[in-house]
C-alpha cells in the first residue's frame, strides 16, 4: 500500500496537464484559515469537523478588514477557500466510500481542476480590528487561503422545494 495520500487508485483518470500551470484567472486571497488540522488529521467534511468541536477562525488581511462591517456573531456565512495543497489534475476519482467512482464534478473532493471549497458556517465572534472571524468549524488545513466570505440567506440560497 502506498503512503502517498494522493496516489492514483484503479479507475481514476488524470488530465493530460496540470491546471495549475494554466494562467487564465487570478484571485486575491483575503486571509487564511486557522484550524487544528493538517494532512494527518483533517476531517473529510464539515459534519466531521463540527463533531470534533474545535471551532476555527479566519484571519482577514488588513486591507480587507473594512469588509467585515455588519458581520456579527450568530450570522451564517458562506466561506470560499482554496485547497492549495490538493492535486489539480485528477478528473475522475474513486473515493474509498464510493467504489464505483465518479467525475470530480459529482464529488465534493478537494482534488479537482480548481480546488475551491465552500462551507456554510456559523460566526461565533468577529473582531474587525484584528480581522479575526471565529467560526463553528472548518474542514481545511491550518493556513488554507480564504477567497471570500458571503452572507448565507436561506430565502436566496436554498432552492424552492429543497
Name all domains of the chain by residue range, CATH numbers in brackets.
27-153 (2.40.30.70)
Instruction: Find the range with the poorest average confidence among 3-7, 59-63, 117-121.
Output: 3-7
Contacts of 120 (CB under 8 A, 6+ apart): 46, 76, 77, 78, 152
User: Taking the model in full, what pTM does it have?
Assistant: 0.87
Q: Tell me: the pLDDT tens digits for 72-83?
A: 999 999 999 999
Contacts of 47 (CB under 8 A, 6+ apart): none
In the prediction, which pLDDT does 2 show? 43
Amino acid at each position: 500500500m502506498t503512503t502517498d495520500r494522493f496516489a492514483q487508485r484503479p479507475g481514476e483518470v488524470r488530465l493530460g496537464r496540470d491546471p495549475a500551470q494554466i494562467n487564465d484567472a487570478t484571485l486575491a486571497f483575503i486571509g487564511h484559515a486557522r484550524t487544528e488540522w493538517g494532512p494527518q488529521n483533517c476531517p473529510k467534511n464539515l459534519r466531521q469537523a463540527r463533531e470534533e468541536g474545535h471551532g476555527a477562525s479566519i484571519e482577514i488581511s488588513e486591507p480587507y478588514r473594512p469588509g467585515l462591517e455588519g458581520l456579527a456573531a450568530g450570522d451564517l456565512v458562506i466561506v470560499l477557500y482554496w485547497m492549495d495543497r490538493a492535486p489539480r489534475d485528477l478528473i475522475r476519482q474513486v473515493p474509498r466510500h464510493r467504489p464505483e467512482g465518479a467525475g470530480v464534478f459529482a464529488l465534493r473532493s478537494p482534488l479537482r481542476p480548481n480546488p475551491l471549497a465552500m462551507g456554510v458556517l456559523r460566526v461565533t465572534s468577529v473582531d474587525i480590528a484584528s480581522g479575526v472571524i471565529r467560526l463553528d468549524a472548518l474542514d481545511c488545513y491550518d493556513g488554507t487561503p480564504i477567497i471570500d466570505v458571503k452572507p448565507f440567506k436561506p430565502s436566496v440560497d436554498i432552492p424552492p422545494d429543497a
